[in-house]
Structure 1
Amino acid sequence: MLFKFHRKEVPWEVVDSKAIEPVSNYYDEDKDLDIVSVGEADTCGKYLFHVEQLNNAADLPNTVVFARQQLLQEVGKKGFNVLLSESWNLTIYRRGKRYRVEVEYNGRPARIVGDLPALRPPPFMQVLQDSL
C-alpha cells in the first residue's frame, strides 16, 4: 500500500471580525420612492481579498465598498437597481505575513423607477477604524 504524505499547511488565523446587522437605506426625509418590485429574499455575496499587508487605513473600507459594488452589479443582472437594506460581515485572516480579508455583503434588492437617490456609503463604516 502506498501512502502519499502531504505537507502540513498552516491554517489561517482569524485576526478580527466586524459585523453590521441589516440597516434600512432610505428614511422618511428621502423623497418618495417609486418602488416597482422588491426581491423575495436578501441577496448575499461573499468576496475574498488577498492582501500582503494591512498598513493602509483605507484597505478595509475599500474592500467593503467594492463588495457592495459587486453585489449591486449582481442584483442589476436580475433587474433590480437598489438595495433597500444592507448588512455586511468582514473577517480578517492571517497566515505568517500574509493577510486575507473576507467580506460577506447582504442586501434586499428592489427596483425603483425614476431618479435614483444618491448612493450613500455602506452603513457603519466607522467600526473599521479600530481594526488596524
Structure 2
Amino acid sequence: MNRLTRLVVASGAGLALALTASPALAAPPSDPGSNRAQVEHTEFSTPDGSYTYEFRGATRNVDGHYTTNTRDQTTIGQSSFDYETHYTLTDNVTKLSSQNTFTEDGVTCRANSQVVLTNGETRTEKTHSSC
C-alpha cells in the first residue's frame, strides 16, 4: 500500500472515529456550565523500536453551543501520525474539520477533511490529500 493510500485510509478511519468519539466528548455535560479536558500519554519501547501515543482533547460550552478540539499523535519507530480535529455542535448543525499528517521514511503526506451535518444529514463533505 503506498503512502497516500495509507493516509487516505487513516483519514477515513480517523474521520469515522471523530464522528463517533467527538460527540461523546462534546456531549452536553451534566452541569451545563462545565467544560471538559482529557489528556492521555502512553510510551514504551520494543526490540522493533519505540511507540508513543498522545491524545489531548478539550470541550468548551458557550451558551449551549459546544466546541471540541482534539489531537492524536502516534510515533512508531521512524513513522508518525498526527490527527487534529475541530468539532462544533450547535442546535441542528454539526461541523467537523480534520487535519492529518503521516510521515514515513522522510516523506510526509497530508489530508484535510471537512464534514457538515444539518439535522443529521450530510450537507458538505470535502477531502484533500497530498504527499
Q: TM-score, normalised by structure 2?
A: 0.32
If asked which structure has higher relative contact order (CA below 8 Å, sep 6+), I would say 1
Indicate the structure (1 or 2) with the bigger Cα radius of gyration.
Answer: 1
Of Structure 1 and Structure 2, the greater strand share is in 2
